[in-house]
Chain A
Amino acid sequence: MSTKTDVWQGTLALMILKTLEALGPNHGYGIARRIEQTSGNRLLVNYGTLYPALLKLEQEGYIASEWGVSDNNRRAKFYRLTRAGRKQVERATHEWEETTAILARFLAPDEAS
């Protein structure tokens, strides 16, 4: 457990959106589990911070929610991407690629310059 990293502020939103894009509609618990799995269990999602983040995305109009029934017959609130959400995934993904590309240049050995 101690080797796991807390999710950085700001990246959680993108992970949620990306997860919803990949899996389609899902409930909060499912999203959290999926993020942990995708990170190869290297990330620890504090489930408590997930729900305010979902609420924020919903207030911003990137995702929408409705109550439904889960695989194992439990009532759960399902989230899905909106059209604005899809665009946001694209935009944010692009931004992240830019950022990491730039950072990579800094972190790479000297021959790049």
Chain B
Amino acid sequence: MRSLRAWLLRIRATLSRSAPDDAHEELTSHLQLHIDDHVRAGLTPDAARRQALLALGGMAATTDAYHDRRGLPPLESGLRDARHAMRILRKNPAFALSAIVILGLGIGANSAMFSIFNAVVLRPLPFAEPARIMRVWQVPPPQLFPGRRIFAVSPANYLDWRAQTDVFDHTAIYGFRRVSLTWQVDPEALLAAAVSSDFFNVLRVTPLAGRTLGPGDDEPGHAHVVMLGERLWRTHFGSDPGIVGQPITLNDEPFTVVGIIPQRQALPDNAQLWIPLVWTPQDRAVRSNHTYLVIARLTPGVEVQRAQVELTTISQRLAQHYPADDQGWGAVVLPLQEDLVGAVRPMLVLLLGVVGLVALIACANLANLLLARTLGRAKEIAVRTALGATRGRILQQLLTESLLLGVGAALVGLLIGQLALTGLVHSIAQYLPRAAEISVDSHVLAFTFALAVATALLAGAAPAWRLTRTNPNDALKQGLGRTGSPSGEHWVRRAFVVTEVAFALMLLVGAGLLLRTLSHLRAVDPGFDPRNLLTMTVELPASRYARPAQQVRFFDEALRRIRTIPGVESAAGIDSLPLDRLDGGSNLPVAIDGRPVRPLSEQPVVAARVITPGYLRTVQMKLVTGRDVAVSDVLDRPAVALVSQSMARQLWPNDSPMGKRLRIGLISNVPREVVGIVNDVKLASLDVHDVEATVYLPLAQVPTPFLSLVVRATDNPPERLTPAVIQSIRGLDPGQPVRNVLTMDDVIGGSLERQRFAMRLVTTFAGLALALAAVGIYSVLSYTVSQRVREIGIRLALGASTRDVLQLVMLDGLKPTFLGMGIGLLGAWALGGALNRFLFGVRAHDLMTLSAVSLIALAVSVIATFTPALRATRVEPSLALRSE
């Protein structure tokens, strides 16, 4: 404690140079007292003074010792260096500015990328004791769902887990509900999370206002309460905390707002509202329909492994009790953080590595700039050495300059990085988990400053080392350095250019490969024609359309009206759009009549889609055999189904499915006759190689309250039709919300968002890298030309043509570029494997990509060498020869 106080006082004394310092006065007084004593003892005043000084050990030495104790000598010399460095940088504002901007660009890209990585992957979830929050999934039988390792949970299984184990303090289940909010103007369809009563005990959310939902809220009769998400609260309710306690209208019924959830604690993060999950006894008994998500908080002292063992045991027990539903189904316990971000981590790690290369290129560039100044400084350093400065002292002085540049670059980098992020955050929120949490925190600051200072010191190390090795004799004898730099330095400068070009080329290859991946994905035939299609989703509230017949009648009439709009070629509906990122659609077990009866859990699972007549024609799918579903396929007529070619191949490998009967589990047990075979469609994503086996059922025989309408326009752009289509739906029911009005191209684009995110970032980084490398080539060559003015002058005087000089200089500049490209290509070849998992339709060693980016790099390099070369041709021979 005491020594800390002393340290602080010393630091303060060092920093405030104006602090009063009475050392001299005190020592003078000491001498006087001593002299008085001596004189009293009989010495002459002169002898007395000499004696006193001797005893003190000399005035100057003692004052120095006193000063050293008063302040902190290392801090003092550091400050002196910093002031000196500031002066030097201020004298060369162009150099200081370009150094700071070049390094700042590299640091900025890294700072932004790290901000994302930090918030998404590193930072613990923003809940109390987040490490104890788990996600529990079901594990489906592999023969039914090849390739799927996790699956949503059924209510009855969840209730059994909950009752049979104490590894969890709290367990909660939730599902998604579409609700229609009527507030101020038009009804609006929102996504609500319906959560069980323990949900907020698991998460321990701190509401912005009001309270969280809790036990008692899920009892029928009390369940009309709702929590608002912060975003909805801000956009729709003007951030007014007074809304708590007020009623709002959801699905035509009054709900009381009880609290507001902060956005960063919003789980699931796409929900806008949270309402209690209310189950009827029938709901609770459902065991084979897996549509819910489960979270749980571990009991203190319980490890994840033990919870896993426990859940596995319970699952096995359930499988014995309920073989029809649970045979082969397991359970898996994952930390929630892992569950949320595990999928994006590899991509973020890759991007972090990629952006690290940009920092290295910026570092090499700065090293080059510093080296270029080396020669100009040689004399200054020589003078200081001659005056007795040690090599360590000079090194410290030079590195202090680098340090200052690093700090400047860190500030610029933070600014650039955060500006870039604010532009980016909104668009990445849709496909990056936890995007709402991206912010500058102490980790980001520390990372940015540490990286900036480290790269600046690294860049400063080589030039500083060279400078301190300069022989002061030689340096002082030289003129202004026109005689050229030592050959070793020349080699170092070229090595920097080689490195920059090599790294930039590797990044370009990565960007090129991702670009081609995206274009390949775009070129994949989805199995239908997405052009000129407008889509939108209509969900009928149960309050007004309770009976299936009402639902079917509404959609029939709506589609009939839409078809009469001028410019509409055809219109139809499907329950879940293909390639819709947010809506996976249902997968259901199927049984075939005439084959041995198997329990539900062992039946093959196919994707099931409900369509209206005319859907095939509207999206232009192909009917391979048989007929389309027809208007006449209604509820009291024989049930029919269409199957996809891959389903036909999988379930009827040896004969035709036409005329066969199948039963779809969980819908109803009626036999459905296969009346047609249609082509395969990519449902989940464009990059799957095996298409999903799919069965299509007519809406009239399998009514649902929600349908995506698909409208084919006679010509581009289909968005033109939006007002008229919404008009005709509102004409039918003014209170009916319509959501997700998108073109089919947008829907497909949405399924590629993650790839596009990676591609955009890597391309940006590669562009930055190439620009930095070009600056590097340019500055080194400009410097070389300035060193060779004499030589070029002689050549011109001896009759060299402009073209000769141009060629000479450009080749000189391009040689390290070629070497860098070669190394870069080898590096890209070697590291390509890391990219493979992100690629589609193109291999990491794709020759076309490699040659294309090489050409780009070459073109940029040629441009970068051209200006210095041109300047060389303008050398005036007579002036050049006379200049020294």
Contact = CB atoms under 8 A, between A and B. Distances in A.
A86 interface: no
B29 A46 contact: no
Interface in B2-33: 2-3, 5-6, 9-10, 22-23, 25-27, 29-30, 32-33
Given A28-B30, A48-B65, A59 B56 contact: no
Provide the main secondary structure of the chain B interface.
Answer: helix
Contacts of A72: 33, 36
A22 B57 CA distance: 27
Size category of the B interface is: 20 to 34
A76 B2 CA distance: 26
Contact of A51 (B9, B23, B32): B23
B66 A51 contact: yes
Contacts of A60: 2-3, 5-6
A52 B3 contact: no
A70 B29 CA distance: 10
26 contacts: A28-B26, A28-B30, A46-B55, A47-B34, A48-B56, A48-B57, A48-B58, A48-B61, A48-B62, A48-B65, A49-B57, A51-B26, A55-B66, A55-B69, A56-B6, A59-B6, A60-B5, A61-B5, A62-B2, A67-B22, A72-B36, A74-B32, A74-B33, A76-B33, A77-B29, A84-B2
Contacts of B69: 52, 55-56
Interface residues of A, number: 25
A51 B62 contact: yes
A49 B5 contact: no
Nearest to B28: A75
Nearest to B63: A51
Contact of B30 (A46, A47, A56, A62): A47
A89 to B, nearest CB: 14
A29 interface: yes
Contact of A77 (B2, B3, B26): B26
B12 to A, nearest CB: 10
Interface in A38-78: 46-49, 51-52, 55-56, 59-62, 67, 70, 72, 74-77
A27 B66 CA distance: 16
Interface of A: 27-30, 33, 46-49, 51-52, 55-56, 59-62, 67, 70, 72, 74-77, 84
Contact of B29 (A52, A56, A59, A76): A76
Best-surrounded residue of B5, B26, B55, B61 (most CB of chain A within 10 A): B26
A27 to B, nearest CB: 7
A19 to B, nearest CB: 16
A49 B58 CA distance: 11
Nearest to A55: B69
Nearest to A59: B6
B756 interface: no
B70 interface: yes
A76 B25 CA distance: 9
A11 to B, nearest CB: 18
Contacts of A47: 30, 34, 55-57, 62
Given A52-B68, A55-B69, A60-B2, A77 B33 contact: no
Nearest to B22: A77
B2, B30, B56, B69 interface centre (most CB from chain A within 10 Å): B30
Taking each of A49, A51, A76, which has the highest tally of chain B beta carbons within 10 Å of its own beta carbon? A51
Interface of B: 2-3, 5-6, 9-10, 22-23, 25-27, 29-30, 32-34, 36-37, 55-58, 61-62, 65-66, 68-70
B312 to A, nearest CB: 63
Most buried by B among A30, A47, A49: A47
A20 B785 CA distance: 74
B33 A27 contact: yes
A49 B62 CA distance: 7
A85 to B, nearest CB: 10
A61 B9 CA distance: 10
Contacts of A59: 5-6, 9-10
Contact of A75 (B5, B10, B29, B58): B29
A44 to B, nearest CB: 9
Given A51-B62, A60-B2, A72-B36, 18 more contacts: A27-B30, A29-B29, A29-B34, A33-B37, A47-B55, A47-B57, A49-B57, A51-B27, A51-B66, A59-B6, A60-B3, A60-B6, A62-B2, A67-B22, A70-B33, A72-B33, A74-B36, A77-B29
Contacts of B57: 46-49
Contacts of B27: 51
A52 B65 contact: yes
Contacts of B22: 67, 77
Q: Which among A27, A29, A52, A72 has the greatest number of chain B C-beta atoms within 10 A? A: A29
A28 B69 CA distance: 16
Contacts of B55: 46-47
A8 B138 CA distance: 76
Contacts of B66: 51-52, 55
A76 B30 CA distance: 7
Nearest to A51: B66
